Structure formats: C-alpha cells, structure tokens
Structure 1
Amino acid sequence: MRQDSDVRTPEGRALRTHSRGTGGTLVIFEAGLGAGGASWGPVLDALPEGVHGLAYDRAGYGESTPAPGARDLGALVTDLLAVVDAVEHERLILVGHSWGGPIVRGATARLRDVGRPAAGVVLVDPGEELADLYFTRIARIMIDAQGAVMPLLSRLGLLGPLQRSAARSLSAPWRGVAAASVSTPAAAQAVRAESRHVTAGLLGLRLDPPAPLGTAVSVVSGRLSEGLGRRMRDELTDAHRARAEVEGGRFVAAEQSGHVIAATEPELIVGEIARLLEA
C-alpha cells in the first residue's frame, strides 16, 4: 500500500514523499524535469519484499513547499540529500530519470565525499553531458519552451487535462497523483525555475568532469526513437554507454521503451535494483 508523508528540509520546507514497503534497504527515486514522484509508481509497485522504496515531489510540485532562490543543480541535490537524511536506512540505492540522473549523481558524489557511500545507482535514460545534443540550439529551445509553456497552460486551464493525458499509462492508484502533482500553478513555476538551469548544469559537468562515483552503477537507455529521431536517439544511447564506461558500470538497453522507461518497462529498472541488492 502506498504511504504518503512529508519530510522536512533543514530550513523547514516540506517535501511530499510516496513510499512502498519497509526494510533497512532504502531506494530513493528522483524524477525528471516536469514529473512528480508518482511517475515512479509502476516501479515502486514491483520492488521486492524487504525494500523501502520512496519517491518524492521536488519543491513546488504537488504538495511540496515551493522553494525560494535559484533551482539549479546544486539546490536540487541538496533537497535530495535532505530526503536521504530524513529516512532511516542501513543501505541506500539512488535511482534517477532524465534530469534526475545528474541530481542523483551529484547527491551520490556528496555522500561519497563525507564517507557515506551509496550502495548503488541506477540512471534511467539520464540527462547526460557526454551527449553533444544537449548543447545544440534545438535542445536549448525545447528545454526553455517546457519551462515557459507550463505557466501559460496553467493560466489557460489546459495544464490539468494535458498532464492527465500524459499520466494515462500509469496504473489507477498512481495516475491521478502523478497528474495532480504537476498541474498546479506552483508546479508550473517550479518547472520553469528548474528549466532555466538545466543547460548550465550539464555544461558545468562537461567543463569540469566529476570523478567517478565509486559505487555500482547501471545505466538504462531507451532505444525507441519516439520524437527524437533515430540519429539523436542513437547519439543519446552512445552517451549513456559512455557514462557506464566512465563509472565502471553496466549498460542496459531498454529495447521496448523510449524516454519514460518507468511506465513501459518498469521490470527492467526493478531488475537492475535487484542486481545491485545482490552485489
């Protein structure tokens, strides 16, 4: 059964969490830009017994308190670490999708640097500075457009129907929560605030490459081109394969999925988590 609760950041903001299961092993899921924690529902439902799975809504999404200041990569990493610190655990695995990938990598690096290493990381079709396509004009336009359009759709009353349509592939217990968490004016503004820093965050990682994470890493890459086109999808997959090599990790091709692998092949993600648990 899904359990919803709040954790608190050091400055007192609430971050709404959605969790399943109990146990000393904690798996925290970080969503992509414009997606709430409930987008991980199919994966949470399929986790093995004895695992505490937890996804959360970033600041401004759903019932999480909006945050002042820039919502850059460093700020998002800090919030993820607040969730890590708030939930008791013996072993930690972090899972990040899309823009959540760099957030998870940043949090894992900080934990490593203070002697609290994560047991493993799963990057699911992550945003990747090794992919040149993220620094093209069309990519910047698409990212900026996502941030700019959501507040407009919210004012026009169109955001809710659009998000409900986007969440239709999720199971009933998660569908409504996922759509509602990114349908509010506050969520639209949160997405806009985050989108302003995506390209800069990836560029910073590209110009100053971080050290390998030093833990077990799986990189799952969608193979269906969807709206990207075959060439761009292949370039992104090549970057994901390169990330796995940099981290000394494992590359996994999701042959039946495009970008949203949690909805189309949740069992693939669960399999990688299970593999890390057995290591």
Structure 2
Amino acid sequence: MTTRSEPTRHHVQGTPRPVHLPDGRDLYAMELAPRLAPPTVVFEAGAAATRSSWALVQPLVGTFAHAIVYDRAGLGRSAPDPVSRTLRRMADDLGALLTGLGTGPFVLVGHSAGGPIVRLAAADAPDRIAGLVLVDPSDEASAILLGRAFRALEKPVVRTNLLLARAGLLARLYRPMLAALPPDARDDLRREGFTADLVRTHLAQTHTYLDELAGFRDDPPQLGGIPVTVVSGTRTGSGMTARTRADANAAHAHRAAASPAGRHVLAPNSGHYIPLTDPELVATEIRGLVEAARR
C-alpha cells in the first residue's frame, strides 16, 4: 500500500532563497514572484525585527513585483556576524545581497532603523536603485532621536528586553503585532523574534548606530535623483508622544523634500508599526515606484 506525500505548504512570504555573502556568511531570505519583470523590491526590517515584520506588505507587492525579505545577520534565521553590527556593516551586507540578485534595478523599502540602512546601500550604487520607500524611518534630522534623553534610555530598554527574552516573556509585549500577522509568519516570529540571541544583536547595533546616524548630518548618503517616498505614522503610542511624533514627521518631510522626486505620505491608521496597520498604503507607494521604473 502506498501513501501520498503531503503537499508542500505555501508560505505567505514565499520560498527560501540562498544568500551567500563574499566573506562566507549566509543570510536567510524568502522571495515571492521571482519571474516578474524588474524592478525587484527588497525589504529591510527595523532594528530588532525579522523578515516576518513585512508579512502583510510583501504578499501584496508580490502580486506585481519580485519581492524579497531577509533577516540581517543575528536576526531571525540568519547566523550572527562575528564583526560588530555597525550601520556601515549592515548596509554592506544589503549591498552584497543586491549584487547576488543581479544588476537590478531595485526598489528598497526600509522601516524604522532600516531606513538609514537602505539609504546608505542605495548611495553606494545609485545606478541600480529605482526608488526608496522609507517607512517611519529613523532620520538624522530628528532632534529627539539624536538627543541626550533618547540615548540615555536606549541601552537600558534593550537590556531589559534581554532579561525578558531570557525569561521567555518578551513576546508578551508584542501580542498585538503577533495577532496581526498571517498564521505562518506569526509562528515564525514566535520562534525567532524574541530570543536572547536576537536581543544581543540589537544591543550590539546600539553601540554605534546613533553615532553613525548623527554623522549623516555632515555627510549624508548621496542619493542623486533617486525617487524617495517617506511614509509617516500619524498616531502616538509605542513609545511615541505627540511631541516625538511631530519631531519625527518633520524630519520625514525634510527627507522627502531632499529628493527631486520626493513624496511625504501620512498613514492615517498608524503609529510606528505602519507595515502592520497600513500595509495596503505601503504597497501602493511601492507600486508607484515600480510602475515608474517600468515606463
């Protein structure tokens, strides 16, 4: 008697794609719609976020473009990096990933701390970049983000998260995020998104990230004519008061205005986690850049 094998279950974020870096490290990536015409859309997650944070946006984009998510080194399923996790190092990894995908063009999408990463990677090779979508990004024009109070709080907060992760309690703080995700991405995030190793990677990033971002004030990534769309949240919460929201959105407006084809878009349903609360809006802004690149 023969038995039929179980059918392969389709994951909402697609199929794994190997990413081999020049120094021998591997990153974990997943892709949707690889046969669609360029440009390819590549997503960069926030400071301590994995590819699962894009699980509502990426499938929408996969209906009209090749869409790739990945885990930075030390996050999700990607192995830790033996070298310090500087902004420069993270942008170099993204650049190597893009090179492995081909000549482009690419639309890069970065949320929160991923915003400066995609800006720096784009400036390294602007000819292959068709556009940037920065989703509630960290930005050097923000006085509060680079101020003394935020710097004083950042590392203690991350160290507290490390204690919670070791105790198996960190996921409880992110129940609304988990509830918003499709079941398979939710399961991935539960397993991979709240580990002590992940928080240690986040802590390593905090050692230099804000200093490097502050350096952008004097020497910003040069994006030339790359179109830049900046999507801002409009609501408070997740640590953002009315004052910090206003400061962030002013910085976002400044960033959009610096691009000759810049757009500043407000997400009406969102605080900081726009990919979870306004995914259709983010996908629409990505579609605009993809279609412009195809014309």
Normalised by the length of structure 2, the TM-score is 0.88
Q: Cα distance, 1:90 vs. partner? A: 4.1
**Contact kept? 1:73, 1:201, Cα under 8 Å:** yes
Report which of the two has the higher share of helix: 1
Aligned residues: 276
Unmatched 5+ stretches in structure 2 = 1-9
Change (3 A) 1:34 1:90: closer
Change (3 A) 1:177 1:168: same
- How far apart, CA to CA, are the structure 1 residues paired with 2:73 and 2:132? 22
Q: 1:87 aligns with which of 76, 94, 101?
A: 101
- How far apart, CA to CA, are the structure 2 residues paired with 1:34 and 1:198? 13
1:244-263 Cα offsets, whole Å, 9 max, x none, are 00122111011211111000
- How far apart, CA to CA, are the structure 1 residues paired with 2:54 and 2:157? 21
**Contact kept? 1:147, 1:191, Cα under 8 Å:** yes
Q: 1:134 aligns with which of 137, 142, 145?
A: 145
SS at 2:132 equivalent: strand
1:83-106 Cα offsets, whole Å, 9 max, x none, are 112224642100000000000000
Q: Cα distance, 1:64 vs. partner? A: 0.4
- How far apart, CA to CA, are the structure 1 residues paired with 2:67 and 2:221? 28
Q: Which protein shows a greater Rg?
A: 2
SS at 1:101 equivalent: helix
- How far apart, CA to CA, are the structure 2 residues paired with 1:238 and 1:132? 10
Q: Does 1:233 align with 2:255?
A: no
Q: Write the mapping of 1:57-136 to structure 2, written as runs, cut at 5 A.
A: 57-88=71-102, 90-112=104-126, 116-136=127-147
The percent of aligned pairs where both chains have the same amino acid is 36
**Contact kept? 1:125, 1:221, Cα under 8 Å:** yes
Normalised by the length of structure 1, the TM-score is 0.92
- How far apart, CA to CA, are the structure 1 residues paired with 2:221 and 2:70? 26
Which range is displaced more, 82-91 or 184-193? 82-91
- How far apart, CA to CA, are the structure 2 residues paired with 1:272 and 1:162? 30
1:148-179 Cα offsets, whole Å, 9 max, x none, are 22322222222344455642221212112123
Q: Write the mapping of 1:50-61 to structure 2, written as runs, cut at 5 A.
A: 50-61=64-75
Unmatched 5+ stretches in structure 1 = none
Q: Cα distance, 1:197 vs. partner? A: 1.8
- Aligned-residue CA RMSD in angstroms? 1.8
**Contact kept? 1:164, 1:175, Cα under 8 Å:** no
Which amino acid letter does the alignment assign opposite residue 144 of structure 2?
L
- How far apart, CA to CA, are the structure 2 residues paired with 1:11 and 1:238? 39
